[in-house]
């Protein structure tokens, strides 16, 4: 799977099945959360473990290993809330390979340990739905470097490995930018639906300032 070395595989190419009730029993789920597991997910398989024991890399940044989970869906989409429940229950970073009947996509989160020791998922990145799985580059000198690289690859042009500040800083900048883009979209709709000339001029001015500040065309 994904061109990784065989020694990363669990139970060969079949992977190791993770019963959904393992999450029911170990997480304090609401009835609606449990229902999402039942309605949206057909199966969860732990396919690969990337670590210094399975690949030629070092363990850094408190990342001992990276897991790869394959999730088969019952329908077309998956709620990110489900992925977050799984992510928060497992300390290691997880690359999710999501499959439905027609296509696949990748999901990965940027998560850190909070001051209280609990896992905090800050942002999810994903590819579009693809007929064929896009090849990912799993080269890296350390688990931390590989984790950041996978996030950057899956994020498209939203993040890069190089640049000023820490990777966490760049994720925080992206989170803020996504909020601004959402605000810009709302403002554009408000301008379109506004009949008052003076108000429209004021809103257009606000929109222009926001786009200039954030480099949005």
**How does pLDDT run across 59-115, given as a tens digit for each residue?**
987 899 999 999 999 999 999 999 999 999 899 999 999 999 889 999 999 999 888
DSSP E strand boundaries for 63-166? 66-73, 94-99, 104-113, 119-126
Decide if 203 contacts 191 (C-beta within 8 A): yes
The pair of structure tokens assigned to 68 is 């790869």
Tens-level pLDDT at each residue, the chain (217 residues): 688 999 999 988 889 999 988 887 788 888 999 899 999 999 999 999 999 999 999 998 789 999 999 999 999 999 999 999 999 989 999 999 999 988 999 999 999 988 888 889 999 999 999 887 878 999 999 999 999 999 999 998 888 655 567 899 999 999 999 999 999 999 999 999 999 989 999 999 999 999 998 888 8
Decide if 4 contacts 66 (C-beta within 8 A): no
Decide if 35 contacts 60 (C-beta within 8 A): no
Strand order in 94-99's β-sheet? 16-17, 41-50, 66-73, 94-99, 104-113, 119-126
Q: Helices 197-214 & 167-192, crossing angle to 10 degrees?
A: 160
Q: Report domain extents, the chain.
A: 6-162, 177-214
């Amino acid at each position: 799977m994904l061109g990784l070395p065989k020694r990363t595989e669990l139970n060969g190419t079949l992977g190791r099945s993770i019963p959904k009730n393992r999450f029911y029993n170990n997480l304090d789920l609401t009835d609606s959360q449990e229902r999402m597991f039942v309605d949206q997910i057909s199966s969860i398989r732990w396919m690969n473990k990337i670590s210094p024991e399975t690949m030629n890399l070092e363990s850094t940044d408190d990342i001992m290993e990276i897991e790869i989970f394959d999730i088969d869906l019952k329908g077309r989409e998956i709620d990110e809330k489900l992925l977050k429940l799984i992510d928060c229950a497992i300390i290691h970073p997880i690359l999710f390979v999501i499959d439905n009947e027609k296509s696949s996509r990748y999901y990965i989160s940027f998560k850190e340990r909070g001051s209280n020791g609990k896992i905090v998922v800050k942002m999810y990145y994903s590819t579009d739905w693809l007929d064929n799985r896009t090849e990912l580059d799993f080269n890296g000198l350390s688990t931390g470097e590989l984790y950041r690289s996978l996030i950057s690859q899956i994020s498209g042009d939203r993040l890069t490995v190089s640049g000023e500040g820490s990777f966490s800083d760049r994720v925080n900048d992206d989170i803020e930018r996504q909020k601004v883009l959402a605000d810009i979209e709302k403002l554009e709709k408000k301008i379109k639906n506004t009949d008052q000339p003076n108000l429209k001029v004021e809103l257009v001015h606000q929109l222009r300032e926001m786009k200039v500040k954030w480099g949005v065309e």
